[in-house]
């Protein structure tokens, strides 16, 4: 059963307990259902999904003349609160980006991917599908085709450049074994990597670095953004590098920890 089916099924069970038919559903019925959902501590995000599923379901019923009135016409989908992604400290990033003690072609590839991910804040899909020609090692820019087919240029630093050059010169040819590929980071099959495989790689690297926290590709994307902002980068520039269409999405990265807030308050407040 899909989440969509489960959402509709839960509403139908609710109607059965109230001995109501689909024709009996009113705005009050809907509000009562979601009050019950909240009392059962169902998350805000799940309830937002349920509204969306039920709106589609009742629109379908009304379109087929199975109900005379669509009670969801005046129900608005709640906006999900933006969740704050978890990032890594600079010390943790430094541990994660230490060169592997034993270098193999695949480990060098993984190291180059991690370096580039932290240096550019790429989405994992953008990273694993990156073309060789999109990486300019002379100017240290990559050209990325992101969400909505929007192209953007992102600079990267010297550590990422050096890791990519080493990978291209000595590791990538050994992985390809004479095969050809337009994808920058290739697997033993001579093809691009899946998102799932890179998730596994970053988790393995985090464990090897002794990082206890859960680490994902987005952890490095988040760290890229927060570390830039904490060192004085402007929000608009970070928005462009991340490829966000709305700057409010970028603003979730502007949080500061409580310790830094206290130190700022103590330093600058006249009665700190």
> Residues 201-238: pLDDT tens digits?
999 999 999 998 889 998 999 999 999 988 888 899 99
Q: What is the pLDDT of residue 261?
A: 55
Q: How much is the average pLDDT of 31-36?
A: 88
Model confidence band, residue 122 (pLDDT cutoffs 50, 70, 90): very high
Mean per-residue pLDDT of the chain: 87
| Range 162-165, long-range pairs (CB < 8 A, 24+ positions) | 163/108, 163/111, 163/112, 163/115, 163/116, 164/112, 164/115, 164/116, 164/135, 164/137, 165/137
CA 84 – CA 42 distance, rounded (Å): 19
**What domains appear along the chain, each with residue ranges and CATH number?**
3-63 (no CATH), 90-259 (1.10.443.10)
> Residues 149-178: pLDDT tens digits?
789 999 999 999 999 999 999 999 999 999
- The number of helices, as runs of H, and strands, as runs of E, in the chain is 13, 3
Give the helix/strand (H/E) hosting 154. strand 151-155
Residue 231 is given by DSSP the state T
State the catalytic residues: 123, 147, 218, 221, 244, 253
Model confidence band, residue 180 (pLDDT cutoffs 50, 70, 90): very high
pLDDT top residue among 140 and 150: 140
Q: How much is the average pLDDT of 104-127?
A: 96
Question: Other CB atoms closer than 10 Å to residue 247's CB: what's the count?
Answer: 12
- Is residue 257 over pLDDT 60? no
Rounded to 10°, the helix 44-63/3-17 angle is 80
Q: What is the pLDDT of residue 263?
A: 66
CA 52 – CA 75 distance, rounded (Å): 10
CA 160 – CA 93 distance, rounded (Å): 13
Model confidence band, residue 78 (pLDDT cutoffs 50, 70, 90): low
The pair phi, psi for residue 230, each rounded to 5°, is -70, -20
| Range 186-189, long-range pairs (CB < 8 A, 24+ positions) | 186/109, 188/106
Q: Which residue has 């089916």 as its token pair?
A: 5
pTM over 0.85: no
CA 242 – CA 239 distance, rounded (Å): 5
> Residues 36-75: pLDDT tens digits?
888 887 877 788 888 888 998 999 998 999 999 898 887 8
Q: What is the pLDDT of residue 87?
A: 82
């Amino acid at each position: 059963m899909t989440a969509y089916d489960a959402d509709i099924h839960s509403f139908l069970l609710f109607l059965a307990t109230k001995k109501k038919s689909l024709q009996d559903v009113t705005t009050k019925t809907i509000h009562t259902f979601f009050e019950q959902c909240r009392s059962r501590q169902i998350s805000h995000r799940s309830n937002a999904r349920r509204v969306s599923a039920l709106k589609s379901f009742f629109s379908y019923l009304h379109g087929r003349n199975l109900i005379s009135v669509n009670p969801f016409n005046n129900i608005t989908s709640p906006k999900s609160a933006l969740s704050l992604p978890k990032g890594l400290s600079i010390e943790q990033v430094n541990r994660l980006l230490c060169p592997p003690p034993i270098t193999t072609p695949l480990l060098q590839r993984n190291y180059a991917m991690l370096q580039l991910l932290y240096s550019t804040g790429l989405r994992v899909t953008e990273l694993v599908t990156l073309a060789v020609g999109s990486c300019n090692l002379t100017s240290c820019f990559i050209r990325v085709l992101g969400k909505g087919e929007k192209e953007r240029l992102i600079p990267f630093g010297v550590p990422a450049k050096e890791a990519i050059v080493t990978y291209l010169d000595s590791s990538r040819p050994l992985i390809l074994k004479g095969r050809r590929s337009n994808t920058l980071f290739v697997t033993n099959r001579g093809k691009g990597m899946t998102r799932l495989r890179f998730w596994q790689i970053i988790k393995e690297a985090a464990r090897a670095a002794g990082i206890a926290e859960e680490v994902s590709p987005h952890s490095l994307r988040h760290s890229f953004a927060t570390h830039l902002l904490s060192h004085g980068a402007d929000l608009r520039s970070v928005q462009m590098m991340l490829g966000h269409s709305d700057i409010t999405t970028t603003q979730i990265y502007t949080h500061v920890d409580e310790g830094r807030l206290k130190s700022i308050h103590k330093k600058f407040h006249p009665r700190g």
